[in-house]
Amino acid sequence: MRLYLDTSNPDTVLKLDEKLYVEPLGRDTAEKLFDFIHSKLKEKKADWKDISEITFMSGPGSFTGLRIGAAVVNTLADQLEVPLYDHHGKKVPVIVPDYGREANISKPRK
């Protein structure tokens, strides 16, 4: 089963093979993403071990959403030993989020 995940926006997009699911996880993405994926796998009478490849929408988009999603797909791909692809279809060893711009890092006060 092919898994596609997009956490770049408040509405999380999950695709399992050709079935599309959209869930407005927003600020609850970190807490609810694994349960969301697992519940949709169960609807298809599948489990984690049935995932054969993972594609992730690596950006640009929400800084936090992309970080959370990248951590999830990198971990799943590693633990399930399945190939990982960015949204351009390029096979990658790990997803590195593309935030669309340089990070806005505050200068230290001292």
Say if residues 50 and 41 touch (Cβ distance below 8 Å): yes
- Please report the pLDDT score of residue 103 as a whole number: 63
pLDDT band at 109 (very low <50, low <70, confident <90, very high): confident
Structural domain contains residue 16 = yes
pLDDT in the model for residue 100: 80
Contact by Cβ (8 Å): 95, 70: yes
In the numeric block, which tokens belong to residue 48?
A: 């984690």
Domain contains 98:
no
CATH at 35:
3.30.420.40
Indicate the average pLDDT of the chain: 94
Sorting pLDDT into bands at 50, 70 and 90, what band is 104? low
* Structural domain harbouring 37: 2-92
Q: Examine residue 85 and state whether it is found in any structural domain, yes or no.
A: yes
Four-residue CA torsion sign, 63, 66, 69, 73: negative
Separation of alpha carbons 88 and 26, rounded Å: 24
Give a yes or no: residue 109 inside a domain: no
108 domain residue, yes or no: no
By DSSP bridging, strand 19-23 and strand 91-92 are unpaired
Domain-embedded: residue 7? yes
- Looking at the structure of the chain, the number of domains it has is 1
Q: Which amino acid does the sequence have at 16?
A: L
Residue 105 belongs to a domain: no
Lowest mean pLDDT among 14-18, 59-63, 71-75, 106-110: 106-110
